[in-house]
Structure 1
Amino acid sequence: MNRFLAFCLLVFALSSCGGPERTAEPSQTETAFSTLEKKSPQIDEYGIVTDSLVSLKKNVKRHETLADILTNYDVPYIKIVEMAKLPSEVFDERRIKAGSNYALYLSNDSAKSVRYFIYQKTPIDYIVFNLSDSLLGVTQGQKPIVSKTRTITGTIEASLYETLIEQGASPMLALKLADVFAWQIDFYGIQKGDYFKAIFEEQFIDDESIGVGEISAAYFYHNGKDYYAFDFDDGKRRAYYDEEGNSLQKQFLRAPLHFSRISSHYSRSRFHPVLRIYRPHLGIDYAAPTGTPVRSVGDGVVVEKRWSKGGGRTLKIRHNSNYQSGYLHLSGYAKGIVKGARVKQGQVIGYVGSTGLSTGPHLDFRFWKHGRLTNYLQMEFPPTHPVNPEKKGDFMNLMAGYKSQLDKLEPSSNDVAIAASTLEDKREF
């Protein structure tokens, strides 16, 4: 019995330590995932699988054509002709511009044949030519735009435009701010010490800024008054409103030009620089370079388009039964501006010039109320539609959040770079 027990113990000992350790076999699922990880294709920004390709990214040289680019890489001429014959709205090879980006994808072998050619039409839009097969493949695409919320503040030294440029901001931001407050502020009359704050969207592609998006909220201190603007869509229209929900848009713009200066005010007795006599000047002169776009201050119909000895090229617009506006000394008219044409508020109708009795380029702007010339700068116009009452609560909540952010921003001095902070990123495409 003792011998049998000893034998069993010996067998147990040998079986537990005598052989090599076994490891668990990988499951079929684990093997499948491992294979997928190894074979995951590399796809680039244009959607091209680049695993077996060599990519070259370049810029179009001055005077370089589509044929110049592709023949350097032995693309068959018949393919180039096919590309050139595409409808112009898809691809116009005559519009290939110096400096534009393009990419070539070559086979990773001794032949180095071109499989794909990509032309970047704009920073956003591109077109892909598949040259791999006998039939030409063409697809269009867009790079994703990422919007980043920014803030900026500034104190006026000379003009809004110059203040923003000194801070490194986009010139488009000046134009957009001027548009937001176009009904409240005459930007020819802003003063040193006025200041502004804004929350806006800056747009990026591949981490490179491509421009300014919408202004979400803004504040402007001018002539002792506070002006707020909040972007809101109430289901009927998207517009800018003040902190009470009143639309900033009024029946007429404060001025017919974006940026300039008033060189002569409305006056009952002004010395005429050409005639050398004193006589009434029942308009407002805006000095601006020749060719500066002139905007209609309101919706209306062109009732006069003519030449006059004093006013040179002249336009007159009837806005309704009460109001008319006039634009004198124009260098030319915008396309489509003829007698009887309907125009919208803010639409470009002509360009600053010095035609007629004039000593230099400027716009002589006139305004009639009930048929009588009146001082436009002294007129007050009621706002248009307020926020939809059904959405007033939503607006007040949004406004309170933005107003709190604006009020916390301190006006910056102009020796400081753009005061911008990213609040959020969001993709638009």
Structure 2
Amino acid sequence: MRVALLSAIMVGMAAAGVSAAAFYVVRGSLYSDLDDQLRQRAVTVVSSGLLSNQYNLPAAALYGSDIRVGLIDARGNGYTVPDSPPPPIGADERDVAGGRQPTSLHTVRDLRVLAVPAGPQGLALVLAQPMDPMRHTLAGLGVVLALVGGAGVVVAGLAGATVAEAGLRPVKRLTSATERVAATGDLRPIPVTGNDELARLTHSFNAMLGAVAGSQEQQRRLVADAGHELRTPLTSLRTNVELLIAASQPGAHSLPEADRKEIFDDVRGQIEELSTLVGDLVELAREDAPRAEHEQLDLVEVVERALARARRRAGDIRIEPSLTPWTMFGDATAMERAVLNLLDNAVKWSPPDGVVWVGLHPVGDGTAMLEVADAGPGIADADLPRVFDRFYRATEDRGRPGSGLGLSIVKQVAQRHGGSVTAGRGTAGGALLAMRLPGGPGQPG
């Protein structure tokens, strides 16, 4: 409606401007033609010699039957055609007769009055022509222009409404889809037609809907997988606690000390497993939280801090680092957590008295590879594409402690820092997990 109204207003203003211009052009042309006719008739009468005798004035009037004719002197006295209305006589006409003004042309009431000298006798010829025909012509022209302009405004309004309806139809579909999403949560994409700006906007909106749908699906999988992973330790923990409570009841058979100690160890282990799983879930939930402020990092220092923590719980497994200086912008805490997860994974899969190799070296394309390799059984080819998925655990890993989220956190941290992760086999036959990270050698700048 606003588009149609705006179109009508703009066309109305344009029509009004064109009509006014046309009216004044025609009006000026009619005035010019009328003045030219008066001058031509005056020249014809004066040059004919009829005015040498004022009694010839009726003959002079024959040059224009619709014209009032008069012959005056400097005092305004003169001669007019009998039985014909005299032309208006004023100061301008007397000045022409007295030689004080060469000619006079002006409008008096509805008459166009011209005065010109009429020979050397100190006389002036006065011609006055009615302007009624010209005024009727202008009035008719005004009516025609008003009708044409009004019709143009109406047509422009209808055309604007039609064009607006057709042009805004995709916007209405987009608005309806937005309201549908807000009311129902239905994230189905909107059909797209054409290739104009509105089509591009619809494509962008569909891309946003796809991203929201993907995020929702990811959240649903996270909740489902978390519930599945929490169920096992919680069931085992509840069983052990119920067993301890039952054994502590009066008259119940007491548990041997060795069995009691084993149950307590299981409870402690299950609590630690739950704590690890909850901590990993919280870490993964930070993906949708505001990002930590990045700072300039010396990646070697970050890796060395993670190495110190990993060695304290590695037992008899050795960790051999080979680190080349590398700097980058990032979150030091998140990066240290990711490196520690890689080290813990390698330690978990290493045989007794095994070795874990840690390497940090530039690749040559503005990135560096942080690689962690172990001498364990390695990763099956079928598991390589999925080792960084949330809660994914290989078949032979089911009985080992862990939440199944450690490597997912590694992937998340790498992507948050503009990097990537890969999995493969090391030279010793074990797993080789790596992060490719942007940055540069030397001191951060």
TM-score (norm 2): 0.21
- For CA contacts below 8 A with separation 6 or more, give which structure has more relative contact order: 1
Compare the two structures and name the one with the higher helix fraction: 2
Larger radius of gyration: 2
Compare the two structures and name the one with the higher strand fraction: 1
